Amino acid sequence: MPVSFGSWGFKSPLAHAVSYIYSPPRRRRRGVWLLAVLSVAVVVVVLVTSLRSERRVLAAYIDIAQTSASASASAAEEFSDLTTLLAVVDRQEFITTMAGIRGAAGAAAALLDAAEVPADALDAHARLTLAHSSWLQGLELVEGSALAAADDPLDPVPAELLERAAVELAVGDRAYETAVEELLSIEKESEVDVEVPSYPTVVFSPSEGADGLITSARTSTGLAQRKDLAVSAVGFEPRRLGETDDGAGIIPFTDRLIVNVTVTNQGNEPAVAVPVQVVLSSDRTGTSDAESETIDRFEPGEATSVEFVFLVIPAVNYELVINAGPVDGEIDTDNNLVIVPFIVNEQG
């Protein structure tokens, strides 16, 4: 009896169908190769994506570094111009210009602080950070010590601080120079394909060194503190008609006189809490009337007016004594005091 794969040749309770599951060898090898190709493709995609991401971060950092460097270069040029004129520059101009330079240098540093730093630029970033911190410290020292040296040329402390400032600025210059060298080397050494542009030269160190700064500050004609208030104008309402032969002002008939006093800050320091007093006296009554106002604050070169009101009588010789300040440290007080004689016309 023929025996098949499906039976034992007789009917037996143990007889059952037998089947086999298997894949042809050729199809199995094809599946293995497909899996390998897919794995390689995934790796390539990951690597390409990673390289693109690294390139994007590096390119962005290089652009930020160049923008920061350009801002620093502009600030350094302005600082160089200022220190060249240190012996003659006005105190307030020096203070205002230094504030602008420090602000620009600080903004340039802030650009780098906010940037994402790629691995290839870590060393350069560290050098740039050192450069900016040194520049900012040096600039702050220059501003304070130059003013102090001008105010007291014999004090040795400002000179020592200016020497320290020169060192800080030189450290910043050198750190920046090294950082630029490292940034330029990225194009040759990095595995990431990126183009590195040229960077400007940045030099904050004064051309004449610390000694030049010290000498210019000590001999400056405009840096030294100068406090000088002046009564620059006196006006009346109603307005004066003219003057008598004795030089007294002639006021039209009125029983109420408005006196407008203008005070000018002719110094190079802000003036604060400046008292302005006006005393009105007459030859007939023998009495006087006094009024006062306080000017809270006004800047160098600024003029401020204050108003006073007095009751007056016609045909009486009056004298106004106006005094502004003085403020602490003011030497020339001759222009703080003004005396104005006047007479009020009779009615009709």
Please give the single-letter amino acid code of residue 136: L
Distance in angstroms (rounded) separating the CA atoms of residues 121 and 57? 10
Query: What pLDDT score was predicted for residue 54?
Result: 72
* Structure token digits, residue 187: 């194009």
The reported pTM is 0.69
Angle between helix axes 25-84 and 91-113 (nearest 10 degrees) is: 170
CATH homologous superfamily of 229-344 equals Immunoglobulins (2.60.40.10)
φ/ψ region of 26 (left if φ > 0, alpha if ψ in -120 to 50, else beta) reads: alpha
Domain boundaries, the chain: 42-218, 229-344
Q: In a 10 Å sphere around its CB, with 0-12 CB exposed, 13-18 middle and 19+ buried, how is residue 158 labelled?
A: buried
Starting at the earlier edge strand, list the strands of the sheet with 271-282: 242-243, 249-251, 337-344, 317-324, 271-282, 288-298
Per-residue pLDDT of the chain (348 residues; tens, 9 = 90+): 444 444 444 454 545 555 444 555 555 555 555 554 444 444 443 333 444 467 788 888 999 999 999 999 999 999 999 999 999 999 999 999 999 999 999 999 999 999 999 988 999 999 999 999 999 999 999 999 999 999 999 999 999 999 999 999 999 999 999 999 999 888 776 655 667 788 999 999 999 899 999 999 999 989 998 899 999 999 999 999 999 999 999 999 999 999 999 999 999 889 999 999 999 998 876 668 999 999 999 999 999 999 999 999 999 899 999 999 999 888 889 999 999 999 999 986
In the prediction, which pLDDT does 287 show? 66
Q: Is 316 exposed, middle or buried (0-12, 13-18, 19+ CB in 10 A)?
A: middle
Q: How many whole angstroms separate alpha carbon 96 and alpha carbon 270?
A: 13
What amino acid is encoded at 170 in this protein?
Answer: A
Measure the CA–CA gap between 342 and 72, rounded to whole angstroms: 61
What contacts 326, CB < 8 A, 6 or more positions away? Answer: 229, 333, 336
